[in-house]
Structure 1
Amino acid sequence: MNASDDNTLNYVMSSCARFPLLLNAMRCSLLVSAHNLDCLFVIRGCGESLVVEHVRQPRLLGIALSDDQQCLSLASYQQIWDYRRVDPAALVGESTHIVAGKDAVYSPCGSTVTGHLNTHDMAWGTDGLYMVNTRFNCIAKPTDGKSFEVVWMPPFISELVPEDRCHLNGLAMKDGRPAYVSYFSQVNSPYSWRQASSFSGEIMSVTTHQPVVTGLCLPHSPRIHDGYLYFCESGTGRLWRCLEDRLPASRTDLELVAELNGFTRGLSLMGDVAFVGLSVVRRPKDGSARHADMPLHQLREPLSSGVVVLDLRSGEVIANLTFSGDLNQIYDVEVLKGSTTPWIVDAESAELSDLFIL
């Protein structure tokens, strides 16, 4: 099955027959950020087919969806966009006709201009939105009147400067608070992670300020789920997990969930199922040969871009979705639970002019 509903986007999407059926059976839809195409992809099942819609956002990376599914935030190039789920009873006039047939509608309600923070992972917590401010090497929160408010910094970072020293990227939440972060290298000079070994990545505890997993190849997407810390070791195409009560973990404490044919980045967990994003390894924009020791460089077969669905009990692939063409960089994957016909309203859409919420 192929799909591309926008002629301005040069990509082809194909999936196994189980993918749309799985989304329907789980009563969910999928949100996927593709920063190289400046798009949020909204993917849902429709019988035996997939339907794809787009929301344009420049250099989109992180997606944050609150636990109650009421708040959605997107990490765009120079700002954070916020959306709220619309209560159908609050709609008036033509609005009720506009949303007909949709079981979840998210309307843009504002944005916070931050400047280019290169914001990666984001997550909603008990006291607001947290974001990984990669350029300033910290966890931060958006705030009025300032570019951001610092929440936490790794202990090895000596000053708050826009220099992306360690490439802080991933954030795992626990009990509504930041619990773990991932980064490429424990270094403290401007952009020095680019010169470090691919295997100097770590997962660090936010509460103890100590690494809990070391020697990782370009880690991303740490997540806490059912007592385990899950994370992507992107440069090897692997998904790992470790019981949280076994942290700090040695290599023997880690359990390999799956090894996939792509740069693993973007992880959403639901019950016994994991949705994992896959990307093609891209060449550095500066033309350098950094991370030449990345194992994915040694694979003979071409890498895949898309989303793989795994059974966490066995590590087996349940379903897969593949992109080709220009769509080869996936950053984040989020499951929209309880919705099979969602609508994320684009801030530039014509329908927004008649969408009134009172």
Structure 2
Amino acid sequence: MQDGFRQTTFGTAVLLLATIGMGVVLFPFWKAIFWAVVLTILFWPLREKLMNWLNGRKTLTATIIVLMNLLFILFPALLILGIIAEGAVSVLSQVEFDSFPPGKMLETISGKFPRLSDALATLGIDFAAIKSVLGNMFAYIAQFLATHLAQIGQGASTLVFQGFLAFYVLFTFLLFGDRMYESCFAVIPASREHKQKFFTAFSEMAVATIRGMVSVGFVQALLGAIIFFFLGIDNAAFWGAIMGLLSVIPPFGAGFIWGPAGIAMVLSGDTVDGIILLAFGAGVISMSDNVVRPIVVGRASSVPSFLILVTTLGGLAVFGLTGLVLGPVIAAVFLSIWQLLYDEKKKAASSSIDDETLGTFSHKE
């Protein structure tokens, strides 16, 4: 009887080389593929409902879901990036460093808090030296931004390309995802029960993480709108919504809005309100991420809240924005594997005890 292709040495070598080659080819786009997988899992229940309503028209169903994603995810993201870029260019073009130095902030603080100036003077801290350092730092930042605008634009174009690629792959998965799912299950060397557990852990954590991101965005939008309204800043609801959408962008998120706003208020002489905004942004808006995300994600999965927080931060550090989902997903699969090994070990130990007990009774008889 002939051996199967995978059971021969040649077949194993060809399979290994082909798999490695495919991985190398797809590696530059792995983030787009990963997000396509996550979105497929997220929208699969909707896909099933639309299929029933549209009498099984797969192409129309996939088109509707992809258009929904373009309308509510990609286009708003591009709009926000455009608003930020336009605002940054406008500010840089209007600032004159000689007539509006960063040291003006220190002069304002010194005038409103003379005791602070006296206390710093007794410690040997010179305001003039601090003003000089701030001026040089501000000029360096402006020069850095000016010289790296091309790289920033290139990064934005890459992001747009990856986004459209992710939606194209999503369209394919929505069309043939069921067949691809069964094919993968057929070739993975594990029992169907074990494979189902791993997939369930992956899908549950992916969906829970997306829900966590949405919850964080809503909370930060609400907090941002409240503090802007309290401080009398115009269009508080609009800027709150922008902060909510930016909350998913590492590492600053909503800080792209409240940070410059607070600094601008301090520099313009509105020192108290500016400090309040900066303190509230750093201590409440930004920290809400570390509170809301573990709670929401932890309730929807079996992963402990502290591990969700750690793997989210670790995933963010290693993989960037994708790590916000991939980090907790890796943790969920990791725990599932160890839980499976523990259950099998426990089952084997229990079976061994039962065999020994049966042998003892048989010997007595």
Shorter-chain TM-score range: under 0.3
TM value normalised by structure 1: 0.24
Larger radius of gyration: 2
TM value normalised by structure 2: 0.24
More helix by share: 2
